[in-house]
Structure 1
């Protein structure tokens, strides 16, 4: 498998004018982090640390290699209002624990690039969908992992945006952080998620986010049924959430 990946990487660097091969991956997974005004700096850090720790977990690292290709593609964006979205971590391949650890370090060191703004889940979804174009990968699945602590309150209508994303064959999963909106998980189920086997994970607050993002990543990477997700626990379940040294 490693030889196939290296060969594919070589093909991506061919001379101008030649056809560029797309690398087969088990999933192209885009992680979208809420940076709207309702997310303070401490809450942003909790998201970043929780996501980084998830990629360091042995279960996640095993799941990365568990598909037919043994390779996944990952990217991270930050978003808030209809005008504020950017790529925080460009697309890259993960083919094993070393790649996952490197990505975790990048996520942990990732600065907040959007400090304010309304909550435009709709425009963030469209931005995310566009970022799949030309990423050099061809996944069995394309998935947007949308995290938010509030409802869409600006920009395009959420139903229109969701329909446009689903029309491209992209699945939308959700992670509802319910610290301000206790029923946000219901909103995600009804209006945000969509596509084949789409699901919404729930976190009661930003401290609980670390457990929720672990469960969500495991279910997405392993492509396991929704029913098996909630009882999964990360290796740090009883430990304090501390920055990686």
Structure 2
């Protein structure tokens, strides 16, 4: 981890910024998420990316976007690598890929710490971006692998913010858990979805808050 951290720190602090936001979208595909709920997440996320305000903010920021599917220990994968929203067509193609992204796993546990660690490492590929953000969704607390709090020190050192959307389908105290264990960074927050049916509206609201905060600083 020490070698990884020093490499990432060098990479992120290197070149002059050419984009204003690198946003990694980390989607829960653990065993508690059935096929319909997975589809609700992916379709809802794709629709939110196409929201007029969200899409304009992402294009103005020349944002880099990435999709990660995560579940149990050693089962975290970047399924759509960094893609720059250099224009609306590029962003629309990314949203199409999100909507069509096939599910990688179905029946495993919840390793949020490892999801954060794997996603964190990918930011070395976008050193030109001035702001680094992980947007993690989940419907349960971490129950396998390293604890999310164990990754916070490295995330802070690299200037990576983690926000979360807590899908309270069967875990009514999940928002509090995410506040205490998952999110990190200045201004980090948790958005609560009251079940998967509420996810599309909440992910749109979450993205609006994240991306408009950035572009407001550009005016």
Normalised-by-shorter TM-score class: 0.7 to 0.9
Deviation per residue, 1:125-167 (Å, 9 max, x gap): 00000011124x4222100111000001111122112222222
Query: CA RMSD, aligned part only?
Result: 1.6
Please give the secondary structure, in 2, of the residue aligned with 1:129: helix
Larger radius of gyration: 1
Q: CA offset at residue 114 of structure 1?
A: 1.6
Question: 1:93 maps to which residue?
Answer: 84
How big is each residue's C-alpha offset from its partner over 1:58-117, in whole Å with a ceiling of 9 and x where there is no partner? 111122134xxx310100000101110001110010023212211111111110012221
State the match for 1:102 in structure 2: 93
- Name the CA distance, whole Å, in 2 between partners of 1:72 and 1:65: 6
How does the TM-score come out when normalised to structure 1? 0.78
Of 125, 130, 139, the match for 2:116: 125
Q: Does 1:29 align with 2:20?
A: no
Give me the TM-score of the superposition, normalised by structure 2: 0.87
Unpaired stretches in structure 2, ≥5 consecutive residues? 1-13, 215-219
More helix by share: 2
Number of matched residues? 201
SS across alignment from 1:25: coil
Find the aligned partners of 2:142 and 2:156 in 1 and give their Cα distance: 18
Match of 1:175 among 165, 181, 186: 165
Match among 196, 200, 205 for residue 186 of structure 2: 196
1:45 aligned to which of 39, 46, 67: 39
Q: Which has the higher contact order (CA 8 A, sep 6+)?
A: 2
Match 2:210 to one of 191, 195, 220: 220
Tell me which residue corresponds to 2:142: 152
In the alignment, the residues of structure 1 paired with residue 65 and residue 31 of structure 2 have an alpha-carbon distance, to the nearest angstrom, of: 26
List structure 1 runs of 4+ shifted beyond 4 angstroms: 20-23
Cα displacement (A) at 1:23: 6.0
